[in-house]
Amino acid sequence: MNPFLKINISSNSGPLSNEEYVTVTVSGVLIPDESDWIAMISPSHSATDIEFVFFTGGFNTPCVLTRSGAVNFANPNAPLYGHLSSIDSTGSSMKLTWVSGDKEPQQVQYGDGKSQASQVTTFTQADMCSGILKSPAVDFGWHDPGYIHSALMTGFQPSSGYSYRYGRDYVDSGSVYGTPDSGGECGVPYETYFPMPTSAKDKPWYSIDQGSVHFTVISTEHNWLENSEQYEWMKNDLKSVDRSRTPWVIFTGHRPMYSSADAVDVDFVEAVEPLLVDNKVDLALWGHVHNYERTCSVYQSNCMAMPTKDKDGIDTYNHVNYTAPVHAVIGMAGFTLDKFPSKVVVGWSLVRVAEFGYTRVHATKEDMKIEVSRRISQNKDTRKVVESFRITTDRVLKLMSSAENSLEKVN
C-alpha cells in the first residue's frame, strides 16, 4: 500500500450541477507508468453518485490502486436530456423522449397551454444478452436506466416556433442516465429509447418520408443476401418510391460500402449495391467508422461521375443525368475518432475529415444540400461548417412534363 497516493476532485461548487467540469488530480504516485489510467465509475444512473478510480496495468489487466470516494449531484432526480424526433413528413407532430427515476406518467407542456401525458417503459438486467463470459451490460457494467418517458406533441403549424417543458410539477422528480450501446446490450436500450417504425423487433429495417426525401433504413447486422427477407424488402421499398412526391432517396445502414478503413464487407457491396444504382439512390449514409469520408458518384469502386463547383465553390453532383449514388461515412458524432491511413490510394475517396461533428440535410424538390458541422463553443450554440456538398436534379419537372404529355394524348 502507498499511503501517499490520493485522488483529489475539485469543482466550482459543492454538489455537481447537471453539467459541470471537474478537475481530477492524482498525487503521490511513486513510480508513474504509461499503463496507469483513471476511470469515472457511475454505479447506477449518471445523475447519482459517481467516483473516480486510479488503475494501473492498462485495460487488459487493470488493478485498482485508489478511489476518490463519492462525488454527489445537487439534484439527482431532475428529468434531463429530452430527445425530439419527427413522426412523419407533415411536420405537424413531434415525439419527445426523456428519462426519469419516477415510473408514474409525467407530461410535456407546449405551445399555448397544451399538454400531453407520457407513456412509460423501461428495461431490466434480464433483458440484456447473457453468455459464458461476463459482459458490461449484464455483469460489472450494468446501469439501471430508470424509466423512459415519451409523449406526442401535435397540432404544429409550418414556419412556427414552439416552447415546451417536460417532467413533473415538483422538484427532485426523475433520474437520468445515458448508456453506450456496446458490451451485451443486444440493442435493447437503443430500441427502448428510440423506437422506430419497424415491422417487428427482430426486423430492424424500415422506411420513412421526410419532406421531399425518402429514407430507406436497413440493418447491416441481419441477412441482406439476395432472396433473404430483408433483401426482398429493400428491393420492393426502393421500387415503390413515388419520385413525384419524394424525388430524393437516401439509403442508410451501419456498416459502410465505401471507407478507407478496413471496414467493408465485399459480399455486402456485391449483393446490395446494384439495388442502389438500379433504383437511382442519390445518397448513401453510413456509420461504424468514426470519421467523415465522402466519395464521388461511385459504383463497383469506379467513379462514374465527379462533382463540379457551383458559384459558391461547393461541390455539386448533377443527378439530372444519374450514374451512381454518393456515399458518405458520418460516424464522427461522439465516439473516439478513427484516423485515416497515411496514404489513401483509392480514387473514389474525395473528402476525409477526422473531426467530431454532425450532419445536416436540407432538401427541396430540385436541390439537396448536405453540411457537416462542429460545435465551436461549449457555452454558446454556435457551429462551424467544415464540409458541404450539393446534389441537384430535375426529376419532378420531368415527371410533371411526362404527366402533361400523357394528358394531352388522352384528350
Tens digit of pLDDT for each residue in 286-314? 999 999 999 999 999 999 999 999 999 99
Return the closest-CA partner of residue 141 out of 190, 183, 192: 183
Residue boundaries of the structural domains of the chain: 6-67, 80-179, 196-402
* Phi, psi values for residue 86, rounded to 5°: -80, 155
Please check whether the domain covering 196-402 is classified as CATH 3.30.70.120. no
Alpha-carbon distances, residue 21 vs 18, 43, 197, 275 (angstroms): 10, 20, 38, 48
Alpha-carbon distances, residue 358 vs 69, 305, 385, 388 (angstroms): 36, 26, 10, 12
pLDDT at 252: 98
- Confidence label for 240 from pLDDT (cuts 50, 70 and 90): very high
Pairwise CA distance, residues 212 & 208, whole Å: 11
pLDDT at 208: 93
- Confidence label for 383 from pLDDT (cuts 50, 70 and 90): confident
- Average pLDDT in the 81-97 region? 85
Is the fold of 80-179 the same as that of 196-402?
A: no
Pick from 90-104, 215-229, 366-380, 386-400 the range whose average pLDDT is largest. Answer: 215-229
Pairwise CA distance, residues 185 & 128, whole Å: 5
pLDDT at 377: 63
Q: What CATH number is given for 80-179 in this structure?
A: 2.60.40
